[in-house]
Structure 1
């Protein structure tokens, strides 16, 4: 299992960050430009990664103000789970975004760097979008 992590401190309470992340409709704002054909509900998102793959994500668990688990469903190119963990620190929130993917060595070499860029991009967008 390949684990990729990105952390950020958001200038908002955990409840505000959680409220944003708990609705997959909001996740479109966290995605880079190479994401196309986005369709979502509160619990599910469908999209294409330009020239790569089609993904369907579903929230599998919500723990209010602390954790959100998202799994890739419907035949993803490889098993994939996304996890947002939140920890309140006064008026700020420490957010950790983890991508866990079952990648063979070749896929790790091809996709590992891109997945790290995605994780870093999403946490920076979260920091920019959710504020007091």
Structure 2
């Protein structure tokens, strides 16, 4: 299952936004209002939304200033969340989130809409920085 957000302009330079995202504690600012739990642990963070199980994301790949890949820490759920960052001007950049998950068809049907809403919220909140 592949989901993506619209490209969104961020009022930070490409380098600043990349560094913002690589400091995982900053993801708390991007999370939806219904976040129940958010804890950073080294190169990973755990979060849960009301009524949903906890999810741990780990930094899997960093491509300096233009790409960060987060992946599930659990082998039970195989997915990644990729942030693509491109420079627009000296003081702004554009970002897009890509979600790629390997789910059975029933699970994919159940999680598609909430996941799309989640990644849309992340980019919307990033645009307000």
Please give the TM-score of this superposition, normalised by the length of structure 1.
0.88
Deviation above 6 Å: which 4+ runs of structure 1? none
Superposed, 1:116-127 pairs within 5 Å as 116-127=116-127
CA shift at 1:11, angstroms? 2.2
How far apart in 1 are the matches of 2:44 and 2:115? 20
Q: Which runs of 5+ in 1 are unaligned?
A: none
Which ranges of structure 2 fall in alignment gaps of 5 or more residues? none
Q: Which moved more, 1:34-43 or 1:22-31?
A: 34-43
Deviations 1:42-89 (A, max 9, x none): 52101223222111111111111111011111345x211010011101
Secondary structure class of the residue paired with 1:53: coil
Q: Aligned pairs, how many? A: 127
**RMSD, aligned CA:** 1.5
SS at match of 2:33: coil
TM-score (normalizing by structure 2): 0.90
